[in-house]
Amino acid sequence: MSEPKFVPNTVYVTYIASTAEQVWEALTSAEFTRKYFGGFAIEVEPRQGGTFLLRYPDGRVHMSGRVVEWSPPRRFSCTWRVEGMPDLRELPECLVTYDIEQAGGSVKLTMTEAHSWKVPDEILAGGRTGWPAILSSLKSVLETGKSLDIKLEPPREMMEAVKEAVAKKPWRR
Amino acid sequence: MSEPKFVYVTYIATTPEKLWQALTDGAFTERYWFGTRIKSDWTLGADVTFLRNDQVYDSGKLLECDPPRRLSYTWSVKSHEEFRGERPSRVTFEIETMTAAGGKKTEVKLTVTHDDFDVGSKVLAAVSGGWPVVLASLKSFLETGEALEIAGIGALQAAKERALAAARGATA
Q: What does the pLDDT average to over B115-121?
A: 95
Look over chain B and give the mean of its residue pLDDT values, rounded to a whole number: 89
Cβ atoms of residues A22 and A142 within 8 Å? yes
Please give the pLDDT value at position B164: 65
pLDDT class of A134 with cuts at 50, 70, 90:
very high
Chain A residues within an 8 Å CB radius of B166: none
Q: Letter for the amino acid at B159? A: A
Predicted confidence at residue B162, as pLDDT, reads 62
Residue B99 domain-assigned (yes or no): yes
**Residue A145, phi then psi, degrees to nearest 5:** 85, -10
State the pLDDT at residue B151: 62
- How large is the average pLDDT for residues A120-143? 96
DSSP H or E run through A54: strand A51-55
Tell which residue, B8, B4, B34, B40, has the closest CA to residue B120. B4
**Chain B contact residues (CB < 8 Å to A):** 8-13, 98, 100-101, 106-107, 132-133, 136-137, 139-140, 143-144, 146, 148-152, 155
Chain-wide mean pLDDT for chain A? 94
Interval B24-77: pLDDT, tens: 999 999 999 999 999 999 999 999 999 998 899 899 999 999 999 999 999 998
Interface membership of A22 toward B (CB under 8 Å): no
Q: Which residues on chain A are in Cβ contact (under 8 Å) with B101?
A: 151
In angstroms, how far apart are the furthest CA atoms of chain B? 55
Of A15, A148, A150, the CB nearest to B136: A15
Packing angle, helices A121-144 and A156-168, rounded to 10: 130
ipTM of the shown complex = 0.94
The answer to whether position B127 is within a domain reads yes
- Which residue range is the domain that position B48 belongs to? 6-171
Among A49-58, B40-49, B101-110, B122-131, the minimum mean pLDDT is found in B101-110
Under an 8 A CB cutoff, do B150 and A133 touch? no
pLDDT 10s digits, A63-113: 999 999 999 999 999 999 999 888 999 999 999 999 999 998 899 999 999
Q: What is the pLDDT of residue B172?
A: 45
Length in residues, chain A: 173
**Residue at B56 is within a domain:** yes
For residues A47-63, average pLDDT: 96
CA distance B21 to A50: 48
How many C-beta atoms surround the C-beta of residue B170 within 10 A?
A: 9
Q: Is the CB of residue A16 less than 8 Å away from at least one CB of chain B?
A: yes
Question: Residue B58 domain-assigned?
Answer: yes
Report the residue from A13, A104, A132 with minimal CB separation from B155. Answer: A104
Distance in angstroms (rounded) separating the CA atoms of residues A112 and B44 = 39
pLDDT at A170 over 80: yes
Residue B79: per-residue pLDDT: 79
In this structure, is residue B164 part of a structural domain? yes
Q: For chain A, give the percent of residues with pLDDT over 70.
A: 98
Evaluate whether residue B30 is within a structural domain.
yes
Distance from CA of A13 to the nearest CA of B (A): 6
Q: Is residue B60 part of a domain?
A: yes
pTM of the full structure: 0.91
What is the C-alpha to C-alpha distance for residues A114 and A135, in angstroms, rounded to an integer?
17
Q: Which of A15, A17, A149 sits opposite B133 (nearest CB)?
A: A15
Query: Nearest-CA neighbor of B90 among B1, B7, B2?
Result: B7
Q: Name which of B10, B101, B149 is nearest A132 (Cβ-Cβ).
A: B10
Q: What is the pLDDT of residue A98?
A: 98
Triad A21, B134, B76: Cα angle to 5°: 150
Residues written for chain B: 172
Within a 10 A sphere around the Cβ of B102, how many other Cβ atoms? 5
For residue B97, the 8-state DSSP code is E
Q: Label the pairing between strands A51-55 and A61-71.
A: antiparallel
Answer whether B24's CB lies under 8 Å from B43's CB.
no
Q: What is the CATH number of the domain that holds B47?
A: 3.30.530.20
Cα of B36 to nearest chain A Cα, Å: 18
Does the structure show a pLDDT above 50 at A42?
yes
Tens of pLDDT along B122-171?
999 999 999 999 999 999 999 999 999 886 545 555 566 566 667 666 55
Given a contact cutoff of 8 angstroms between Cβ atoms, the answer to whether A100 and A74 are in contact is yes
Give the total number of structural domains in chain B: 1
Asked, for residue B1, whether it belongs to a domain, the answer is no
